[in-house]
Amino acid sequence: MRLSKSKGKFSYDMINESDNGTIIWYPTGGPTKKGLQRFSRFAALVRCIDIPEKEHIDPTVLFHLSLANPQGEPLLPMVEELWCRTSPFLDMIVMFLAGRSLRALTILAPGGWLLNYAAESDTRNAGAVRRLLGALPSKTPELRSLYVCDTSEVDLLDNDMSWVGGLRELRSLRLDCGWDGPFLVHLMPALATLDHLCDLALLLDDRLVAFETPRGFPQLRNLRLDGQSHDDFDGMDALGQIMSPIHLDRLEIVSAFVNTFTENHSLLDAFAGVCAHTLTSIHLSLSARMPRDPEFFPAPPNPFPAFYLLRPLLQLQALQVIDIRYQGQMSLTDIDVRKLEEVWPSLRSLSLSWRVPNTAGSAPSFHCIVDFILSHPDLSVVHIPAVDIEGRSTRCGDVKAVPSGLAAGDDLDQRIPDPKKVAEVLRVMFPNISVDEFAAEVGSGKWGVVLSTLRDSNPTRFWPDELVDWLGPFMSTLAKLEHLRDLALPLEDWVMDELPIPQGFAQLRSLRFEGNEHSDLTCLYHLGKILPRLPRLERLEIASTYVNSFTEDNSYLDGIVSKCVDTLTTVKMDIRPGGIDLDLPSPVPAFNLLRTFIPLHHLQFCYISYSENMSFTDVDLRKFQGAWPLLQTFALSWKRPYLPHTAPSFHGIVEFLRERPQLAVLKLPVVDINGNCVRCKDIKALPPSFVVEDGCIPDPIACARVLRTLLPQIRIKRNVVKSACGEWATVLSRLRDTNKYV
């Protein structure tokens, strides 16, 4: 619904209504009876409302509309989810619109989706936000999710946090906004009283000191802390004492400093100990604080030892996913890696990202990495930026062959649980590695199987490297354009000049390659080699290219993606069959197209379409464990025939959603039901086997919203909701509420 004031009349626009809207009243008179009746009828249907940033709502309009509800009911009596921007009248607007039915409230700063780039917010906005939050316990007692985001310099919240304790049904709370004073001291006692809180996102506060608090946080599973690039871990010790004991499953700390980490101590030690037996996933995005007075506060070592960050995690026995990103240079030696062997028996994904230094001995050897993989049998993904080859730090993407000296033997065979799985991990880590026929034949035992599996997935070369073409100098010229933001190039059968471009494309935001009836991505392999780092690239689009450019272990996009791994948020590809016959499997695995994007930490939107049939199974979904935590839209499309066992199951999809709390749109052509592919748009009811346990649904409302985008025609009957329980019942109830409005 949209309320607007224009052309001398007040109107509201509804779906399926005329573009002219319905006149409720003229400025010279009162509301018409017919207009109020029509408004009330349609208002009862609204479940979700997003008030656009530039929508200026006059509170007088809302007051007159409230006459349609003389009992004091809100204008939208059934609304469950509300998105709005801060404004001087925010409290009045929200309280007029929503009431006891509200389950999710998101308050964003004007000027952006997540960030406010305005120089200064109106302090009146802060007053309106405070009044609104103070009224929530009495007006919206069933609120489950609250998100407040405003990164301006204005202190949006004050020390009066008593309203938090009144939101007894709150499941998810995220506060990314300015505070007046040491806020956690006032906030934590209120949070400890919330019995259902499972997701919490706060700012780090180095002024926090430990204090006695009632035993709380029984359901807290996900915790996100943001240092906003001006805090380190000084408050973590106190936070651990306040929150103990907790059963945390996922911990994320972003935009914080590493200065307090040393070889034998860190301020993360105590907090990690509090959740040592339950934490399965940890994500750190860190940088180094450059001190103003190096004489008294020395800068951290450069390169920074990665083991300083990994040492506190040694006590986390249940750890499955480790994702650490550091903006500077780091070192990880063989000695460090040996200390990590057999520490995490359930580890499935290890991803470490940093700027590779030129210092000798700053990366682990290939042999040491193999030993680490063998000591963790469940490991399926390993990402580190470089390994040591003959005393030099070599980027993993540049490793072309298995180093000599790793010979097969009884000891090695005994330590290889599954040779094909080991080969898959090595292929993901070293996408361009090649094994020749002789090496594969000489290898024996399980290591021989590893080598032969790697050989079978060797990268394919279409032509020799020595060919050159005119576009190399042309790209060097483009790189010098200081203000170039959008670049579109054709996909042709040219090969790039091997001379690297040292710098350029400083402002490039969008890069598009457009193909034709005879183009593939082979040219991009060389482009990826010569391009400099693309520090601001946000969108990459590939239009109309051959699927043959992608295999399970190699993609000619790998080089380009590596240049923007920390900035790329949107990927869009349109793929078709054709090109040189590589004897690719049929149907083509969707993982072939998606593998190269796994390292994209900030990916939010992913659109992939293929003009023939593909396969995308639960096994494929599990390969993305720990990837894309910020994903908001994930859309895959392919054509018939839809073969049995080539689509993900319902349970596989729910597990995929669980790791991506911000996912709002999921689109697939088919899902697997009892081994058969069924088109999503044809599914009218959930099979009886579609039941999900409570622990798998962090946010029922968000889960229902995503399932509605996946299964648009589904209808949930009342008896199905009554027979369910827990969070799954909430999901079904939410789906049932949207039966008639999709």
Helix H, strand E, coil C: the string for 230-299 is: EECCCCHHHHHHHHCCCCCCEEEEEEEECCCCCCCCCCCHHHHHHCCCCCCEEEEEEECCCCCCCCCCCC
The tens digit of pLDDT for each residue in 76-110 reads 899 999 988 888 888 988 988 999 999 999 998 77
Residue 468 has pLDDT above 60, yes or no: no
The tens digit of pLDDT for each residue in 67-78 reads 666 677 888 899
Tokens of 642: 């839809």
Handedness of CA 733, 734, 740, 742 (dihedral sign): negative
Residue 199 has pLDDT above 90, yes or no: yes
Alpha helices for 508-617 (secondary structure H): 522-530, 558-562, 590-594
Handedness of CA 504, 114, 539, 55 (dihedral sign): negative
Q: State percent of the chain over pLDDT 90.
A: 22
DSSP for 430-479, written as a single string: -TT-B--HHHHHH--HHHHHHHHHHHHTPPP-SS-TT---THHHHHHHHH
Instruction: Tell which residue, 392, 342, 338, has the closest CA to residue 367.
Output: 338
Tokens of 293: 């007075």
For the ranges 111-115, 135-139, 172-176, 518-522, the maximum mean pLDDT occurs at 135-139
Alpha helices for 174-213 (secondary structure H): 184-191
Looking at residue 585, what is its pLDDT?
64
Residue 583 has pLDDT above 60, yes or no: no
Separation CA 451–CA 437 (nearest Å): 9
Separation CA 248–CA 142 (nearest Å): 24
Residue 313 has pLDDT above 80, yes or no: yes
Separation CA 709–CA 149 (nearest Å): 25
Instruction: Tell which residue, 593, 632, 583, 633, has the closest CA to residue 615.
Output: 593
What backbone phi and psi angles, to 5 degrees, belong to 510? -135, 130
Separation CA 349–CA 626 (nearest Å): 7
Higher pLDDT, 458 or 322: 322
In this structure, the dihedral spanned by the alpha carbons of residues 188, 234, 119 and 161, taken in order and rounded to 10 degrees, is 10
DSSP for 667-721, written as a single string: E-SEEEETTEEEEGGG--S--TT----GGG-S-HHHHHHHHHHHSTT----HHHH
Residue 665 has pLDDT above 50, yes or no: yes
pLDDT tier at 489, thresholds 50, 70, 90:
confident
Separation CA 312–CA 307 (nearest Å): 9
Tally Cβ neighbours within 10 Å of residue 63.
11
304 three-class SS: strand
Residue 451 has pLDDT above 80, yes or no: yes
Q: State percent of the chain over pLDDT 70.
A: 80
Q: Bridge-partner residues for 226, per DSSP?
A: 203, 254
- Say if residues 304 and 258 touch (Cβ distance below 8 Å): yes
The tens digit of pLDDT for each residue in 247-259 reads 999 999 988 888 8
Separation CA 215–CA 742 (nearest Å): 44
The residues, any chain, with a CB within 8 Å of residue 331's CB and separated by 6 or more, are: 303, 304, 305, 306, 357, 359, 361, 362, 363
Find tokens 């006695």 and name the residue.
Answer: 212
Distances (CA, A) of 601 to 324, 351, 568, 570: 10, 10, 8, 11
Instruction: Tell which residue, 496, 482, 630, has the closest CA to residue 560.
Output: 496
pLDDT tier at 297, thresholds 50, 70, 90:
low
Distances (CA, A) of 333 to 45, 189, 368, 481: 61, 43, 9, 40
* Length of the chain measured in residues: 742
Report the first-to-last Cα separation within the chain, whole angstroms.
Answer: 14
- Say if residues 303 and 357 touch (Cβ distance below 8 Å): yes
pLDDT tier at 486, thresholds 50, 70, 90:
confident
Q: Which helix (H) or strand (E) holds 533?
A: none
Looking at residue 502, what is its pLDDT?
67
Find tokens 């052509």 and name the residue.
Answer: 669
Find tokens 């007051």 and name the residue.
Answer: 63
Q: Model-level pTM?
A: 0.61
Domains of the chain plus CATH, in order, are 1-181 (3.80.10), 474-737 (3.80.10)
pLDDT tier at 226, thresholds 50, 70, 90:
confident
Separation CA 452–CA 422 (nearest Å): 12
For the chain, what is the radius of gyration of the CA atoms? 28
Least confident of 308-312, 368-372, 525-529, 657-661: 525-529
Classify each residue of 425-439 as buried b or exposed e, where b means 16 or more C-beta atoms within 10 Å of its C-beta: bbbbbbbbbbbeeeb
Separation CA 366–CA 406 (nearest Å): 9
Least confident of 36-50, 133-147, 726-740: 726-740
Least confident of 190-194, 537-541, 555-559, 613-617: 555-559
Find tokens 């090969």 and name the residue.
Answer: 495
- Mean pLDDT (whole number) for 698-709: 83
What backbone phi and psi angles, to 5 degrees, belong to 580? -65, 135
pLDDT tier at 697, thresholds 50, 70, 90:
confident
Q: How far is CA 347 from the centre of its chain?
A: 20
Find tokens 């200026």 and name the residue.
Answer: 56
- Say if residues 606 and 634 touch (Cβ distance below 8 Å): yes
Higher pLDDT, 581 or 485: 485
pLDDT tier at 401, thresholds 50, 70, 90:
confident
pLDDT tier at 340, thresholds 50, 70, 90:
very high
Average pLDDT across the chain, whole number: 79
Looking at residue 62, what is its pLDDT?
75
Separation CA 370–CA 736 (nearest Å): 51
What backbone phi and psi angles, to 5 degrees, belong to 135? -90, -15
Tokens of 421: 């799985």
- Say if residues 139 and 167 touch (Cβ distance below 8 Å): no
Looking at residue 10, what is its pLDDT?
32
- Mean pLDDT (whole number) for 368-385: 91
Higher pLDDT, 464 or 98: 98
